[in-house]
Amino acid sequence: MPRVVNISDLRRVAEANLPRAVFDYIDGGAEAEVTLRENCRAFEEVTFRPRNAVAVETTDLRTTVFGAELSMPLLLAPVGFTRLICPRGEVRAAEAAAKAQIAYVLTTISGSAIEDVAQASKGCRWYQLYLVGGREAAEAALGRASAAGFSVLAITIDTGTFGLRERDIRNGAGALIGDNLLRKLRFLPQVLAHPLWLAGFLRDGRMLVLPNVIVPGRGPLPLAETQASLAKSVVTWEDFRWIRKVWPGPIVVKGVLTGEDARRSLDEGAAGVVVSNHGGRQLDGVAATLRALPEVVKAVGGQAEVFLDGGIRRGSDIVKAICLGARAVLIGRAYVYGLGAAGEAGVARAIQILRADLQRTLALLGSKSISELNRSYIDVPAIWASEPRPKT
Ligand SMILES: Cc1cc2nc3c(=O)[nH]c(=O)nc-3n(C[C@H](O)[C@H](O)[C@H](O)COP(=O)(O)O)c2cc1C
């Protein structure tokens, strides 16, 4: 892919390759998409303070996350219905992550079974939990994930109800994943205009069930029931007690945007938090994650790992997040655009772009190692300094 120089190039190729409704499902955010845009814009507001006249021949990007060594501080975020984008999408992405020695996070609402992902990828793997299908289905999935070598559990806490994704509603995207063929007819023109995608989708043929949500006495949950089930089964702090009993490894809370939720996560036994607003897909109007990061880092006070996702499109964005205290970052759209552009090779390309960006940014900053980065390498706008808030 010689013409693909950055993640926006991958996005353009994905847009050309995918039916409109599938592309919008990936690309879109909630309501007016203010938070979606802000996530990216916040990175532009932070500027670098390089140490020049320093020779940097090699750069060390390695880091460890809960004892696992990663070649760079990057994880592929959980993305629901990845199989809609590319045949066996979760397996392909996990393979690309393992080859690049970074971590992969498998969503509950995956079209690929936990065991299939584990078999294809021996790399560092986390499992992300939604309570879709209820508590018994979740317990069964956690047992399978742990047995299959998923080492960390990420619990997503920002889906109390569905964000209003206006593009999906206009496109009627719900019907895409349902099993009502008549309702799918509306997609015929856009699908026929993308015969390669259609051939892959039909060949894959496993889109209509969620193999990791086995409802006791019923088998895998049909995709069409996901929305209703998700809306009824929000994860609450009360759930953490039983989850801790059934999950033996570290727990990371995904969807933390305030110091209060960060401290509550620690109280509930979390070993890490992900500063995340679900890529601007849930509550529109919440702050960009980069802006929320310093408050969370301060509240955590070094007692847990802090991760960040949302808006990362360049390696320099990763450097800025690390300078503000993140241990590592997760990317969602950046790799999913790659998946839509060229399957596993596209994911590999996204990772390669970010790795080269990281190496170059470190060298230009005059730093040899990711572990040297700190707040002194960046300036943040004065307006970011937060006013003291009343205690809640
Ligand atoms: C198409 C799509 C599906 C997603 N599905 C999930 C999911 O199943 N579980 C979850 O915790 N987060 C999900 N997310 C949110 C991502 O894990 C991540 O927080 C977000 O994509 C980060 O923002 P970015 O896309 O700007 O990198 C999804 C995001 C996208 C774009």
Give the model confidence (pLDDT) of 334-386 as tens digits: 999 999 999 999 999 999 999 999 999 999 999 999 999 999 999 999 888 76
Output the CA 79–ligand 1 centroid distance in Å. Answer: 5
Residue with tokens 């206006």: 166
pLDDT along the chain (392 residues), means of 10: 91 97 97 98 98 96 98 98 94 98 97 96 96 93 98 96 94 79 85 93 79 88 77 89 97 98 98 98 98 98 98 98 98 98 98 98 98 97 76 66
Q: Which residues line ligand 1 (CB under 6 A)?
A: 25-26, 39, 77-80, 107, 109, 128, 156, 254, 276, 278-279, 281, 309-312, 331-334, 336
Closest C-alpha to ligand 1, atom 12: 78
> 252 alpha carbon to ligand 1 midpoint, in Å?
15
Residue nearest ligand 1's atom 2 by CA: 79
Residues marked as catalytic: 278
Q: What are phi and psi of 129, to 5 degrees?
A: -105, 130
191 token code pair: 């699908």
Strand stretches in the chain, DSSP E: 47-48, 63-65, 68-70, 74-76, 103-106, 125-129, 152-156, 209-215, 219-222, 251-256, 272-275, 305-309, 328-331, 378-379
By alpha-carbon position, which residue is closest to atom 1 of ligand 1? Answer: 26
Q: What's the 77 CA to ligand 1 centre distance in angstroms?
A: 6
* Atom from ligand 1 closest to the CA of residue 279: 23
Q: Strands 209-215, 251-256: parallel, antiparallel or unpaired by DSSP?
A: unpaired
* Residue of 235, 281, 317 to test ligand 1 pocket, by largest number of atoms within 8 Å of CB: 281
pTM for the structure as a whole: 0.97
Whose alpha carbon is nearest atom 15 of ligand 1?
Answer: 278
pLDDT at position 392: 63
Q: How far does the centroid of ligand 1 lie from the alpha carbon of residue 23, in Å?
A: 14
HSE of 172 in the Cβ direction (CA atoms, 13 Å)?
12
What CA–CA distance (Å, rounded) separates 312 from 358?
Answer: 12
- Res 258: pLDDT: 98
Specify the 3-state DSSP secondary structure of 242.
helix
**What's residue 226's pLDDT?**
77
Per-residue pLDDT at 181: 73
Give pLDDT, residue 222.
78
Q: Specify the ligand 1 atom closest to the Cα of 254.
A: 11
Please tell me the distance between residue 306's alpha carbon and the centre of ligand 1 in angstroms. 17
Residue in the block written with tokens 């080492």:
151
Specify whether the CB–CB gap between 332 and 279 falls below 8 A: yes
Q: What is the dihedral of CA 281, 285, 287, 288, to 10 degrees?
A: 50
